[in-house]
Amino acid sequence: MNWQQDEPKVIDEEMLKQAIEEQGPQGQAGDISKKEGIQYEDVLQLRLDYRNILKIFHLWHFTSLTKLQLDNNVIERIEGLENLTNLVWLDLSFNNIQVIEGLEALVKLQDLSLFNNRISVIENLDTLQNLHILSFGNNAIAQLENVLYLRKFKHLRTLNLAGNPICEEESYKTFVTAYLPDLVYLDYRLLDEQTRETANTKYKYAVEAMQQNELQEQQAMEAQKISNEELQLHKDAFVEFLNGPQLFDSMFDEDPDGEKLALLPGMEALLESYPCKMEALCVQIFDAGLTQHAQRTAEVESFFTCSHEAVADNRQKAAQIAADFESSRRQKIVEMQQITDVELLEDNISSCQEQASQLSETLMSLELQLVDQLEDIFKDFERNISDMVGGFIEYVHTFAQCRDLENQHHEQQLEIALATLEKVVKNELEEEIPDDMAMVSGKHIDCYKDTVTNAVSASHDTHLLKIDNREDELLTRINSWMSGLLKSIHDEEVKRNRKRVSEIRNYVSYVKDELEDMRMSEHH
Amino acid sequence: MEVLPEVDCEEDVTITDDEEDDDEESSLSNIRITPTVTHIAKPRPQVALSKCPSSYKENSSQEKLMAAMAENFRQQYALLYPDRKALLLCPVNECSVQKFVSTTLRSTLLPYPELYDWEGCASFVADYLSLELLDPPFELPKQLSSPTWVLQTQRGTCFDFSIVLCSLLLGAGYNAYCVSGYATKEMCLLDQSRQECPLLQPQIQDKTEEPKKPMKKYSVKPPRDLHSNFERRQEEKQQAEAEAATLKKQLDAERLQKERERPPPDPLRGLRVHCWVLLLSGNREIPENFFIDPLTGKSYSTTDENFLGIESVWNHQNYWVNKQDCTFGCNEMTFDLGDLSKWEYVLCGQSLSIISDPKTLEEPEDEEEEEMDELKVFEMPPSWVTTIDISPADMEMRYPGGMKVIEYRKAKLEKFAPYLLKDGLVTKLTTYKDLDCTKASTIKEWFKHRSDHLDERELHTDSNVTTEHFRPGRSDALKYHRYVTLVPETERQMDFYSHIRTDGLARRIEKPFEMTETFENRTDFLFYRNAVYGKQIKVIRAGEALEQRPLQRVEERFHRDHSKPASKDVAERIFVVSDRRIQVTFHLEDDRIIPAWLNFIKPKEAADSQKAQAFTPQMVSGFQVDPSTKPYTNLQLYEMLVELMREEENVELHIRDSEKEVRSILSSREKEDSNTDLLISIYNPTRNEMARLHMEEKERMAKEKKQRQKEKELDLLAPSQVRLGLPEVLTSQDALQLKTDCLNEFKQQLFNKASLIQSRIEKETEELQKKQLWYQKNYLTMSNEDEDDYLAYCSDAMFRIHVLKMRLIRHKERAPQKYLALEEKLKRHPRLASHFL
């Protein structure tokens, strides 16, 4: 082949067709496949080597491809491979690739060869966690640090870096061995114990430090995961952030008036006892929420196990009936094929048809029975779960106590504010006073009084709003959860029922068609 | 120079030792090789009475006192209860010396784990001894032998049995007593022919009924039952009546049967003397009192109707006489031995308070009195019997002569010691159809140590079916085999240890035209294969004609392989070879009740005149569950068919392999049965010839090494060297002198020895002559006794002189040899050798 004289090409239909036909089934199978035409989606392996390809194109149809060879071409960019998510083996050796890219979607990839390219940095491979074999030989990798990037591939066993500038370095082999301890083969050779030992002694501390860091990161991740899970649990119970002062804090966060009022003398004591009480109430709701959540989960689980059991039971019975019928039917057909008398055959066929109708009836009644049973327990479940949710909602009215607490707080605050005002007016207060109050001290007393009252009630309104919002959120979410759950159960059941009914109809019609065919053939 | 002869002596001793060992072993091997066929106990070498220790032959002062007290008790008892039979208090032992029964008990714990609990002890005693009946059966025995004697002779009366068993039980820490009383005829005569064999009694299966599942909250209600309750009840009633009728019939038949089997009434009922063992609750976590019959080793409740009365009980500390009424058997007896109204003791003492006197604990004032009493109390003398000892070889032989036969109702049980029989048989149970035991119905045999790992074999004579069980360890992993004959292609079942086999085969059932195999844990998920054969035809393969049954139909079933989608995972494939069809059924998808299937018709292969048939879509038919899924393409179907045809060939190969394996197993079984070896553990030194030789060799080496060491240490030259005042490093002059000195001295010693013997001879002769002179002078006036003495002395003296003369002769013979040996030795002596080279 004189591919060197050819023009650089882009992958096109014709090339693909030719390759598939060449590489597809041979002999009788080949004839059949040619007659039928080959679907690109079914092709599992494809070889496109020595074709002077410059640009990868037209490959998006090959969704079930597992092995793709594009070696010995003039490809400059890795592209157009996004749809080939089932790829296990990808060969891009002997090309002109400079940057690793476009491989993010190929998560099943185990064997990747980029031998003899122009790559200088190992990168963009983070998602390819299943890599076993990796070949970067004859490239332009010059930095030993590139090897560290490969530490994240836990399954990597074979690595080829031969022919890169880094191989010139004296410590190349020991470095790689030390930092990739799971590696078995490096540059066509088995890593022996001795190399490992020297590598370990040489880089012991560096590797250990690195491992330590990685371990810490992992632990942090795990801790994060655990806390996330916990939060998710709280969210599922609809009581997240109620196990502490978060609600109280949020009440005061967006409350500029409250901040100022907090500076009033006497407010300190008030502000000290208030959060404690508030928090106690919140925690009460929180605990109740968690226990109720556990109860609800148990209830849901018990419902699902029971309904699954019933379905499985019913399915087994129906399957048995169907299997019995099928085996008797096959025997019948064999018998009928022996019969030559037309009338007798006719009798037989009609009796078979009758039996088929009977089977359909039996299976349908079994299915109907199951539907009834499931409907019964679904009703029970619906009632119970709505009772539970109702109970929880009632409990949630503890928020009313929060509101009471807030009202109380408001009154006390107002009292303190007015008392302070009196003092200010009488100039009895020598202590430092909030700025804006001092500012207004000269103004008319009534005007000032209004301001203070406004500030206090504004703060109060903000607080109340926060509490109301939280309560509303909780109620809406739990209600939507319940309705969603019930709806999904119902939908599932309907879907299952449809599926079964259509299955039975399909089978029975198949059986009847067969019988009809037999009758027809007999008549002709 | 005294040491040399000593060395010689030791050598002699070791040689004799070895000889003795050899003797013992050869006798052992004799026992092993020649099994006794008859049940009669092999006459053991009678133990000479004279060898008994002195305690057997005389009474100590304490024992004499005890005997006197017993005599006193007996007289009082005879006076108080003139109607009752005499008690067994002081029978004579095997040396004809009167011994109190309690002192005959010797509590012993033997170092065999099986004797640590009462079941083991009882069955051991029952197995180990053979019974001598009491004669007459209504009299107490006149002699009560020591347990050691009984164990040596391996025979004894029921009293001897009880004494041995009670000794072992006391040693194992049980609160055990010997009981002298009356029992039924069957019990006394060890007649078990009316009892069911314990091996035949159905084992009580642990009924671990599954705990009923708690009714779950959302369990679906079962569909409504639309049957009439009334009708059902009527039906039930009818059924119950019919059942009751049949049950009644059965019961009647059983009763009749029993009536027929009942033995004739025993004229001596209630008079037959028997002795057994009583275990009281308390020690070793025994919850309730019970009896053990030492003849059978079985336990009975204290109310069992076989025991008709009790005269007395005793242990190693005391003796109690029963004062309760036994007219109606032992039903209402209490065994509170502290109760004076019910039991009369012989010795008052501490043993009482130990057994039962809770009052002492409650009333502390009594304690002092008690202590005072105890000081006066006469304690039972220690047992006169020496320690009971059973050798491991005897323990292994277990039965008298290594075998025992027990006859049960419609069954015969034969037991053999391991290694006794060549085929490894240890137990054989024959059950019969009739009471007279003439028509055998099943023969069940248990084996041990067989090299073919056969464990159990059962033969039903009616159906002629043999079943065999094997222990793990066979190369073909056979576990169970049921067959009629060992001819291939007949009905049989073979089970295998599937985890050992690479193909995971668990069971293979064969019928004349069918073979079914089941598998476990295979990686290809196959679990069932059934092959149906046609009539045998001749097949010519590789030039030779073979008789082979053609395959007609093969069915294979697979478990679900979860790595594949259900609709692509084959559940069952049937190769209808005779019809050229292949049926494939796939697994059920989730929520589906009807599987998908495909039927293929195989295209015809190329024949002489025709081309091979091409594949057409008409050759395939099938059903797809979901009409919306994409149907198979022709290519896929074709590939599937090709694959299936290849599989068909493989399957046939597998089946032929199985047939071959069956044939090889059958032929190896035949060989093994006709010629069995017994496996011998490497830890069994008495049987494992190699191990024993190795050990002996090692011992010998150790001994030799020790001796050499000793010789080395022994410096022959040292005494002379010191005496001559020679330095450590010798000149050749010195060496020569040393050598001659040494030799001279040895010569002198030899000479001295000879002269010593000579002088002794002379002395003896002189004395004898003196005595003769004296006799000649006085023989007229001598009494007969003196004359006897004289004659005895004469023969003695003559013997001594003869021995001395022999010694002298031997010494003279050996002296030159010894001298030469020493000379040789000195030549090679490290310090002299350099000078004489």
Residue A385, pLDDT > 60, answer: yes
- SS3 letters across B291-304: EEECCCCEEEECCC
If you average pLDDT over residues A407-421, what whole number do you get?
84
Spell out the residues 6+ positions from residue B479 whose beta carbon is closer than 8 angstroms to its own: B469, B470, B472, B495, B496, B497
Which pLDDT tens digit goes with each residue over B265-307?
778 888 889 999 999 888 888 888 899 999 988 889 888 888 8
Distance CA A266, CA A409 (A): 13
Residue A433, pLDDT > 80, answer: no
Residue A41 with chain B: CB contacts under 8 Å: none
Residue B633 with chain A: CB contacts under 8 Å: 36, 39, 42
Q: Which of B581, B635, B636, B638 to mutate to test the interface with A (most CBs of A within 10 A)?
A: B635
Any B CB within 8 A of A259 CB: no
What does the pLDDT read at residue B121? 92
pLDDT band (50, 70, 90) for residue B558: very high
Tokens standing for B338? 């502290």
Closest Cα in chain B, distance from residue A120 (Å)? 40
Determine which of A50-59, A174-183, B210-219, B562-571 has the lowest per-residue pLDDT on average. Answer: B210-219
Residue B392, pLDDT > 90, answer: no
Distance CA B643, CA B651 (A): 12
Any B CB within 8 A of A337 CB: no
- Do the strands B176-183 and B155-156 form a parallel or antiparallel pair, or are they unpaired? unpaired
Closest Cα in chain B, distance from residue A470 (Å)? 34
If you average pLDDT over residues B20-33, what whole number do you get?
40
Exposed, middle or buried by CB within 10 Å (0-12, 13-18, 19+), for B23?
Answer: exposed
Distance CA A225, CA A380 (A): 37
If you average pLDDT over residues B536-555, what whole number do you get?
74
Q: Which amino acid is at A211?
A: Q
What does the pLDDT read at residue B57? 85
- Do the strands B319-322 and B176-183 form a parallel or antiparallel pair, or are they unpaired? unpaired
Contact between chains at B591 and A369 (C-beta distance less than 8 A)? no
Any B CB within 8 A of A380 CB: yes
What does the pLDDT read at residue B21? 42
Residue B206, pLDDT > 60, answer: no
Distance CA B426, CA B416 (A): 5
- SS3 letters across A457-475: HHHHHHHHHHHHHHHHHHH
DSSP A169-194: STTHHHHHHHH-TT--EETTEEPPHH
Q: Where are the beta strands (DSSP E) in A187-344?
A: 189-190
DSSP B71-98: HHHHHHHHHH-TTSPPP-SS-B-TTS-B
Determine which of A55-59, A466-470, B68-72, B194-198 has the lowest per-residue pLDDT on average. Answer: B194-198
Contact between chains at A318 and B593 (C-beta distance less than 8 A)? yes
Contact between chains at B594 and A42 (C-beta distance less than 8 A)? no
pTM for the full model? 0.68
Which pLDDT tens digit goes with each residue over B406-463?
888 888 999 998 888 888 889 999 999 888 888 888 999 999 888 889 999 999 988 8
DSSP SS3 for A281: helix
What does the pLDDT read at residue B41? 42
Give residues 42 to 101 of A whose Cβ lies within 8 Å of B.
Answer: 42
What does the pLDDT read at residue B215? 65
Distance CA A40, CA B302 (A): 90
What does the pLDDT read at residue B35? 38
Distance CA B111, CA A316 (A): 61
Any A CB within 8 A of B536 CB: no
Q: Output the CA angle A128-A131-A133, nearest 5 degrees.
A: 145
Cis check: omega of the bond before B136, within 30 degrees of 0 = yes
pLDDT band (50, 70, 90) for residue A491: very high
pLDDT band (50, 70, 90) for residue B257: confident
pLDDT band (50, 70, 90) for residue A4: low
- Nearest CB among A36, A321, A377 relative to B634 is that of A36
If you average pLDDT over residues A48-76, what whole number do you get?
89
- Residue B511 β-bridge partners: B514
If you average pLDDT over residues A436-458, what whole number do you get?
67
Task: Provide the mean pLDDT of chain B.
Answer: 82
- Residue B494 β-bridge partners: B481, B508
What does the pLDDT read at residue B545? 59
**Could you tell me which of A283, A296, A212 has the C-alpha nearest to residue A246?**
A283
Count of Cβ atoms closer than 10 Å to residue A166 Cβ: 20
Closest Cα in chain A, distance from residue B576 (Å)? 13
In percent, the amount of chain B with pLDDT more than 70 equals: 85
What does the pLDDT read at residue B390? 87
Determine which of A443-452, B346-355, B731-740 has the lowest per-residue pLDDT on average. Answer: B346-355
Could you tell me which chain B residue has the CA closest to the CA of A309? Answer: B219
Closest Cα in chain A, distance from residue B216 (Å)? 7
pLDDT band (50, 70, 90) for residue B541: low
Could you tell me which chain A residue has the CA closest to the CA of B224? Answer: A369
Any A CB within 8 A of B627 CB: yes
**Could you tell me which of A456, A454, A428 has the C-alpha nearest to residue A441?**
A428
- Residue B292 β-bridge partners: B277, B299
Residue B365, pLDDT > 60, answer: no
Residue A368, pLDDT > 70, answer: yes
Residue B629, pLDDT > 90, answer: no
**Could you tell me which of B546, B548, B501, B511 has the C-alpha nearest to residue B532?**
B511
Distance CA B369, CA B348 (A): 14
Residue A296, pLDDT > 50, answer: yes
Give the containing element (helix H, strand E) for B430: strand B425-432
DSSP SS3 for A18: helix
Distance CA A401, CA A54 (A): 74
- Do the strands B273-279 and A189-190 form a parallel or antiparallel pair, or are they unpaired? unpaired
Q: Distance from CA of residue A296 to its chain's centroid? A: 24
Closest Cα in chain B, distance from residue A157 (Å)? 25
In percent, the amount of chain A with pLDDT more than 90 equals: 30
What does the pLDDT read at residue B20? 41
Residue B745, pLDDT > 50, answer: yes
Say which residue, B689 or B554, is predicted with more confidence. B554
Residue B31, pLDDT > 50, answer: no
Contact between chains at B219 and A36 (C-beta distance less than 8 A)? no
What does the pLDDT read at residue B7? 37
Say which residue, B223 or B122, is predicted with more confidence. B122
If you average pLDDT over residues B387-401, what whole number do you get?
85
Give residues 442 to 501 of A whose Cβ lies within 8 Å of B.
Answer: 496, 499-500
Closest Cα in chain B, distance from residue A190 (Å)? 31
What does the pLDDT read at residue A422? 81
Which pLDDT tens digit goes with each residue over B71-101?
998 899 889 888 888 888 888 888 888 888 8
**Could you tell me which of B181, B180, B124 has the C-alpha nearest to residue B154?**
B124
pLDDT band (50, 70, 90) for residue B520: very high
What does the pLDDT read at residue B161? 92
Give residues 583 to 602 of B whose Cβ lies within 8 Å of A.
Answer: 588, 591-595
Could you tell me which chain B residue has the CA closest to the CA of A30? Answer: B635
C-alpha dist (Å) from residue B58 to B102, B176, B316: 16, 27, 19
Residue A115, pLDDT > 90, answer: yes
pLDDT band (50, 70, 90) for residue B636: confident
Could you tell me which chain A residue has the CA closest to the CA of B587? Answer: A319
- Nearest CB among B219, B626, B638 relative to A306 is that of B219
Contact between chains at B216 and A305 (C-beta distance less than 8 A)? yes
If you average pLDDT over residues A264-278, what whole number do you get?
78
Contact between chains at A32 and B638 (C-beta distance less than 8 A)? yes
Closest Cα in chain A, distance from residue B612 (Å)? 11
Say which residue, A208 or A263, is predicted with more confidence. A208
B677: left (phi over 0), alpha (psi -120 to 50) or beta: beta
Spell out the residues 6+ positions from residue B603 whose beta carbon is closer than 8 angstroms to its own: B612, B613, B614, B615, B619
Spell out the residues 6+ positions from residue B458 whose beta carbon is closer than 8 angstroms to its own: B442, B443, B444, B445, B466, B467, B468
Any B CB within 8 A of A36 CB: yes
If you average pLDDT over residues B125-135, what whole number do you get?
88
Q: Which of A28, A32, A306 to mutate to test the interface with B (most CBs of B within 10 A)?
A: A32
- Supply the ipTM of this predicted assembly: 0.76
Any A CB within 8 A of B625 CB: yes
- Nearest CB among B221, B623, B625 relative to A373 is that of B221
What does the pLDDT read at residue B30? 41
Look up tokens 């395939």; give the residue.
Answer: B620
For B667, phi and psi rounded to 5 degrees?
A: -70, -35
Distance CA B114, CA A416 (A): 93
Residue B236, pLDDT > 60, answer: yes
Half-sphere exposure of A142 (CA within 13 A, CB side): 3
Tokens standing for A94? 């002997």
Could you tell me which chain B residue has the CA closest to the CA of A324? Answer: B594
Residue B740, pLDDT > 50, answer: yes
Distance CA A107, CA B319 (A): 91
Contact yes or no for B566/B586 (Cβ under 8 A): yes
If you average pLDDT over residues A506-517, what whole number do you get?
89
If you average pLDDT over residues B707-715, what whole number do you get?
75
Half-sphere exposure of B592 (CA within 13 A, CB side): 17
If you average pLDDT over residues B240-256, what whole number do you get?
93
Say which residue, A50 or B734, is predicted with more confidence. A50
Residue A376 with chain B: CB contacts under 8 Å: 220-221
Size of interface A-B (CB pairs under 8 A): 86
Any B CB within 8 A of A366 CB: no
The sign of the torsion formed by the CA atoms of B742, B746, B751, B752 equals positive
DSSP SS3 for B494: strand
Determine which of A476-480, B22-26, B235-239, B525-529 has the lowest per-residue pLDDT on average. Answer: B22-26
If you average pLDDT over residues B711-725, what whole number do you get?
71
Tokens standing for B210? 């599954």
**Could you tell me which of B120, B185, B129, B204 has the C-alpha nearest to residue B159?**
B129
What does the pLDDT read at residue A7? 79
What does the pLDDT read at residue B677? 79
Could you tell me which chain B residue has the CA closest to the CA of A39? Answer: B633
Residue A27, pLDDT > 60, answer: yes
Residue B223 with chain A: CB contacts under 8 Å: 369, 373
Which pLDDT tens digit goes with each residue over B764-818?
999 989 988 888 888 777 788 888 888 898 899 999 999 999 999 999 999 899 8
If you average pLDDT over residues A348-373, what whole number do you get?
91
Say which residue, B342 or B199, is predicted with more confidence. B342
